[in-house]
Amino acid sequence: MTALPGTHEPRGRPYVGRLAPSPTGALHVGNVRTFLVAWLRARQEDGRLLLRIEDLDHPKVKRGASRALLEDLRWLGLDWDEGPERGGPHAPYVQSRRSAHYRRALGRLAAGGHLYACSCTRRDVTSSASAPHGLDGPLYPGTCRDRFPGWHAAQLAARPRAAAIRFRVPPQAHVRVRDRFAPPLDAPAHRIGDFVVARHGASHAYQLAVVVDDLAMGVTEVVRGDDLLPSTPRQILLYRALGHEPPAFVHLPLVVGPDGRRLAKRHGDTRIAAIRAAGARPAALLGWLARSLGIDVDAVEHPEALLAAFRLDAVPPEPCVLEPERFAREIGIAPAALGA
């Protein structure tokens, strides 16, 4: 098998990190914990940090969410060097305005024989008895791999839905993700499966967009939650198919409730907007976030105060458990203010 390493330290290139919020809702404590680490990594490396709005999930995008999340980040003292309102050499910094970049990438992938048309729906895949189980659920069993001569035939079969465009995973591929925080992840081809990169004549998938944008913007390290770790082998295959090495990856444990499940309304209101409205000071929340990252501090007036103490290898490897009542008290507000 051909081993595809998950990360390479880009040689001779300055550090470039990114914040990539999605305006599908308000930022919560788990989001900003990851963004704080991304900010600290970039500032410790004396690198550049860009902010990109990932708004391709159109049905879930909330009006006004982009503006609100920028306000929440600034309230915490986080800043960036490039972004939608700052501009920069890689504009636009909003994915819904970058379709031309994705179309060009699809053209390159198609020319290299990496894509094929597919008329199957998600339900077809999940209900298929032949669908194997992969890294994060049922895998596509390859039903349409050699079924259609081109997009038009697939679209006729898929109507009224849009035909999918899938990436053809080489059967000999074996991706090993060497993360800078999470344990190594081995992913042979049969655990990855052919995956969707676009819908014909419609939307582009997250897997494609994030790779194209990180390449175009020169990102050298991606810091994100470990719920996205299973997507990483697919993205590494796209980097390679486009002729580039992937950036380094840092996948951090999520913030979860006492029940071990990701934050939700049942754990109280952990939105930054709600925390602000309840009267919490940014310094108190920064202090809580810092302690969750292994830094022994109380209130922190600005993220810069954490630069000397932050170490990636000191971050606890297990999920960060948020106990609603205790959390509210530790950031100086009444638990009832957050529904805890």
pLDDT digits (tens, 9 = 90+) for 276-325: 999 999 999 999 999 999 999 999 999 999 999 999 999 999 999 999 99
62 among known catalytic residues: no
pLDDT at residue 178 greater than cutoff 50: yes
pLDDT at residue 331 greater than cutoff 60: yes
Catalytic option among 265, 296, 313, 318:
265
Give the range with max mean pLDDT: 98-112, 157-171, 189-203, 257-271.
98-112
**What's the rounded mean pLDDT across residues 261-282?**
90
Q: Do the domains 2-252 and 255-338 sit in the same CATH topology, yes or no? A: no
- Per the prediction, the chain carries an average pLDDT of 89
What is the DSSP code (8-state) at residue 304? G
pLDDT at residue 329 greater than cutoff 70: yes
**What's the rounded mean pLDDT across residues 174-182?**
96
Helix (H, G, I), strand (E, B) or coil at 126: helix
Percent share of the chain, pLDDT over 90: 71
Token output for 201: 């004549």
Type of residue numbered 80? W
335 upstream amide cis, omega within 30 of 0: no
**What's the rounded mean pLDDT across residues 191-196?**
93
8 Å CB contact between 243 and 215: no
Q: What is the pLDDT of residue 1?
A: 30
Helix (H, G, I), strand (E, B) or coil at 307: coil
Host H or E run for residue 107: helix 99-111
8 Å CB contact between 167 and 115: yes
Type of residue numbered 340? A
Nearest CA-CA partner of 26 in 323, 269, 337: 269
Percent share of the chain, pLDDT over 70: 90
pLDDT tens column, 21-41? 999 888 999 999 999 999 999
Higher pLDDT, 13 or 259: 259
Cα 301 from Cα 311, distance rounded (Å):
19
pLDDT at residue 2 greater than cutoff 50: no
* Architecture per CATH, 255-338: Orthogonal Bundle (1.10)
Domain 2-252 listed as CATH 3.40.50.620: yes
Q: Binning pLDDT at 50, 70 and 90, where does residue 51 land? A: very high
Q: Could you tell me which residues come within 8 angstroms of residue 25 by beta carbon, excluding any fewer than 6 positions away?
A: 60, 62, 65
Higher pLDDT, 63 or 50: 50
Residue that the structure tokens 């194209």 belong to: 212
Could you tell me where the DSSP H helices lie in 222-340? 232-241, 272-277, 282-292, 324-330
Give the residues across from 234 on adjacent strands. none
Q: What is the pLDDT of residue 9?
A: 42
Q: What are the boundaries of each domain within the chain?
A: 2-252, 255-338
8 Å CB contact between 51 and 84: yes
